[in-house]
Homo-oligomer: A and B are copies of this chain.
Amino acid sequence: MRPSGRSVDQLRDVRITRHFTMHAEGSVLVEFGNTKVICTASVETSVPPFLRGKGKGWVTAEYGMLPRSTGSRMIREAAKGKQQGRTVEISRLIGRSLRAAVDLTALGENTINIDCDVIQADGGTRTASITGACVALVDAIEWLKKNGKVKGEPLKHMIAAVSVGMYKGTAVTDLDYAEDSEAETDLNVIMTASGGYVEIQGTAEAEPFTPDELNAMLALAQKAVGELAQIQKAALEA
């Protein structure tokens, strides 16, 4: 039934490549099928003004798409001088989700800047970003520890994210662009590896969705995030 031939609860091929670029403390290429995002985690050994002197750290994120990561070229936001609302919204979502993974007090007065840059888009860029960025975040935290900038353990949970949705009346996992553009409902679920919800965002594209549909989608998300957590773990142990 799915354009890709996948079963309803099947993720696309997910690949996580660490040390993808050489300068960042954490650098990951994450691929969910044809969706490819470079996630870097950059360490700064200071905090923004609103946190100075409070003994706490900060994690923030920015998201972008290369102009031709999509089927038709998008205007370059830097040249236009303005980010699209969608870009701002996703940047905030990524930052909020990753802060939930970190004990900011244990991080000390350090900042981790996450950059998620989509080089090829085929649906699910925000969930791929979060899943890849969490791995980059771990590498950046390890860097902080190895360099003696942090003593305790700032990582509280691993988090991963997946989009689920109602497609032709059925709940399905990890929508690609072909599905996403026709889905009735799109639900982004960000969870911890142990199954707690960090953020859920569901939107009815045409008709409202029912409690039963919500439950069916959430069940798929639980399964998928479990699998993503395994892939993250394997990447970090490689």
Tally of this chain's copies: 6
Asked if B78 and A120 sit within 8 Å, CB to CB, the answer is no
- How many positions in chain A have a CB within 8 Å of any CB in the partner chain? 62
Show the binding face of A for B, using Cβ within 8 Å.
21-24, 27, 34, 36, 38, 40, 42, 44, 62, 64, 66-71, 73, 76-79, 81-83, 85-89, 91-92, 96, 100, 113, 115, 117, 119-121, 157, 191-192, 196-204, 206-211, 214, 218
Asked if A67 and B62 sit within 8 Å, CB to CB, the answer is yes
User: Chain A contact residues: over half helix, strand or loop, or mixed?
Assistant: mixed
Asked if A44 and B23 sit within 8 Å, CB to CB, the answer is no
Asked if B91 and A83 sit within 8 Å, CB to CB, the answer is no
CB of A14 to closest CB in B, whole Å: 18
Asked if B204 and A196 sit within 8 Å, CB to CB, the answer is yes
If A89-B92, A197-B202 touch, whether A21 touches B208 (CB-CB below 8 Å) is no
- Which single member of B62, B85, B208 contacts A197 (CB below 8 Å)? B208
15 new A-B contacts at CB < 8 Å, known A68-B115, A196-B208: A21-B66, A22-B34, A27-B68, A40-B66, A40-B68, A42-B68, A44-B73, A68-B113, A73-B115, A88-B88, A100-B204, A197-B208, A197-B211, A199-B204, A200-B202
